[in-house]
Chains A and B, each alone.
Chain A
C-alpha cells in the first residue's frame, strides 16, 4: 500500500479520476438540453411576467402590474381558475372508475387479454381526435347524446358544448374517457402483483366484497394509486387540447382554463401579450408546484427507505 501511494501514478488524469468524472460526462448532454429548454425558460417566464412585451420589440418593465390586473378582478382569469378547480376535482373520478373497470376485467376467461387492450384503446388515441369525436357526439339535434337525452325529455339548449352551463362538464367527460383507461391499466398491473396468500388468508378469516377490497386489496395497490393520482393531476392541469378542439374557449369564454387562457393572451389574433400570458403561466406553475412538491416528497421518502 505504502509503496503504491509514494509511487507517482503514471496513469493519465482521466484514468485516475475516471469514477468521479464519468457520471458528469454522461450527464452533460442531457443536462445541457434540459437546462436550455426546460429549467432556464421557467426563470425567463418569471422575468417576462414583470414586463409588457409583444414578443418582438423591447420589453417594457411594469413591475407587478400584470399580477395586479390578473388578481384584481380579471373576469376571464377567475373563470379559468375555477374551471381548473373543476377539472382537478372531477378528473380524479378517473381513479375510482379505472379501479372499477380493472376489477371487472381482472378475470381469466377466454379472450380477456384482447378485452383488456381494447378497453385501454382510448388512451392511445390523440386527444385532438377524442375531442373531435366527442364534439360530434354532443352535436345539438343530430348528436347521439342529444338524441339520448331527448328520450328522457331533457333538452340542453344549444347542445352540451353550446351551453355555458354544461360545456365545461362535457369537455371533462371527454377527458375522463382516456384518463379512466390509463388508471385502469395501472390498476390491472397492480392487481397482478397482489399477494394471493394474503387474499386467501383474509378469505379464511371471512373477509368478503368491499371489506376485502378496502382492507386487503387497496393497501397493496398503493403504488398504483399513487401513480394514477400523479398522472391524473398532471393531466387535469394540462388540459389544453380538448378545449382548443372542442370549444376554443367558448361559449362566451365559459370553458377557458388557465393553460388555454395563457395561450390565448400570448398568441391570439388580438396581438401578442406575452407579459400578461407569462403572468398567467406563473400562477398555473405555482398551482402545479403544490402538487410537484408533494410528489417529490413522496418519491424522496421511498428513495430513503430503499437505501
Chain B
C-alpha cells in the first residue's frame, strides 16, 4: 500500500492525521457549508451585512417553504425528472444493444464504428448546437421535454456504448459459444445470457447518466425556455432573477435543485464510481 499505512507510522503522526482529516474536509467543503448556512438565514442578515457569521435567527423552514410553495421550483424539478428518467432508460437500452453488437461480434467495420461513437462523445457541444436546434425546431419539438430527451439519448449513446462494449468484453466468451452450439438464437443470447450478466454495468450507467443529464445546463438553455419544459438547472437562473439578491432563497433553491443527484450518488456509490472510471481502472 502507498503511502505507508498509518498504523505503521509514529504515534504522533497517527494522531495528527486523525485530527487533520476533519479539518481538511471542512476546508474542502467550505463553499457548500456556506450555502447551507445561507439557506437557513433570515433576509435581515444580508441587509445588515452579516453574510458569513452566525444566523441571527433560524429561518430554514420558512425559506424552504417559500421555495416549494411560492416559486416555480417544484415545476422545474418535475421537468428535470421527466427529462432525466426517459433519457436514462433510452440511452441505456440503445447502448446495451450497440455494446452487445460491438463487444461480441467480429466484423470488419466493428472498430471504426466503435471509434465513431467514442469520437462523437468527445465533440464540443457547440459544433452540434445550430443544426440540432434547427432540427428540433423543424420537428416542432422546440421548448418541449421530448426534444431535449431525444437529443440527450442520442448524445449519451456514445459514452454508454464505450462503457457497455468494454464491459461486455470482460464477460467469458465461451459462455456465448456454448449457447450457440446449443442452437440458441442470437437475440435470445442477448436477452437471456448477456443481459443478466450486465446488471452492474446497467446500474453504473444509470446513475452516471442520471447525474449528467440532471446537471445539464447548456442544452436546457438552447432547446427550451420557460418553466413549461426547462429543467432545474435552468430553473435556478430564472429563480435568481425572480429573487434577485435574496441569497437565503437562492441558496435554498440551489440546494433543492442539486439534491437528487447527490442522493443518487450516496445511495449507489459503488456503481457510480465504477461508471466514472469508465470501467478501465479496476
Contact = CB atoms under 8 A, between A and B. Distances in A.
Interface in B85-102: 94-95, 97-98, 100-102
A34 B159 CA distance: 11
Most buried by A among B122, B221, B257: B122
A5 interface: no
A134 to B, nearest CB: 6
A129 B258 contact: yes
A277 B240 CA distance: 28
A119 B28 contact: yes
B16 to A, nearest CB: 12
A27 B113 contact: yes
B257 to A, nearest CB: 7
Contacts of A130: 31
B203 interface: no
In this complex, which of B133, B264, B280 has the most chain A Cβ atoms within 10 angstroms of its Cβ? B280
A173 B266 CA distance: 26
Contacts of A281: 124, 126-127, 129-130
Contact of A44 (B21, B131, B218, B269): B131
Given A103-B3, A124-B261, A133 B131 contact: no
Is chain B's binding surface mostly helix, strand, loop or mixed?
Answer: helix
14 contacts: A20-B107, A22-B105, A22-B186, A23-B104, A30-B98, A34-B116, A34-B117, A44-B130, A55-B134, A121-B32, A136-B34, A144-B51, A227-B281, A238-B125
Nearest to A141: B49
A189 B272 CA distance: 12
A23 B105 contact: yes
A89 interface: no
A125 B51 CA distance: 23
A20 B111 CA distance: 16
Given A34-B117, A177-B31, A281-B129, A245 B101 contact: no
B244 interface: no
A112 B38 CA distance: 28
A205 B187 CA distance: 55
B249 interface: no
Interface string A11-30: 00000001110111011011
Contacts of B205: none
Nearest to A27: B101
Interface of B: 1-3, 5-7, 17-18, 21, 24-25, 28-32, 34-35, 38, 49, 51-52, 94-95, 97-98, 100-102, 104-105, 107, 110-111, 113, 115-120, 122-135, 150-151, 153-155, 157-158, 161, 185-187, 190, 211, 214-215, 217-218, 221-222, 233, 236-237, 240, 247, 250-251, 254, 257-258, 261-262, 264-266, 269, 273, 276-278, 280-282
Contact of B122 (A27, A29, A147, A295): A295
Nearest to A224: B281
Contacts of B186: 18-19, 22
Interface of A: 18-20, 22-24, 26-27, 29-31, 33-34, 36-42, 44-45, 48, 55, 103-104, 106-109, 112, 115, 117-122, 124-130, 132-134, 136-137, 139, 142-144, 147, 177, 182, 185-186, 189-194, 196, 199, 212-213, 216-217, 223-224, 227, 230, 234, 237-238, 240-241, 244-245, 258-259, 262-263, 266-267, 274, 277-278, 280-282, 284-285, 288, 291-292, 295-296, 299-300, 303
10 nearest CB pairs, A to B: A37-B154, A41-B131, A126-B215, A26-B101, A44-B131, A30-B98, A23-B101, A23-B105, A281-B126, A22-B186
Contacts of B276: 182, 185-186
A41 B127 contact: yes
Contacts of B101: 22-24, 26-27
B95 A30 contact: yes
B180 to A, nearest CB: 8
B117 to A, nearest CB: 7
B281 A223 contact: yes
A189 B161 contact: no
A47 B267 CA distance: 46
B72 to A, nearest CB: 16
Contacts of B262: 121, 124-125
A26 B29 CA distance: 45
Given A120-B265, A132-B254, 6 more contacts: A23-B107, A34-B120, A103-B2, A245-B217, A285-B124, A285-B126
Contact of B6 (A44, A108, A295): A108
A263 B115 CA distance: 28
Contacts of A26: 97-98, 100-101, 190
Contact of A29 (B94, B104, B120): B94
Contacts of B126: 258-259, 262-263, 277, 280-281, 284-285
Contact of B123 (A31, A124, A285): A285
B250 to A, nearest CB: 7
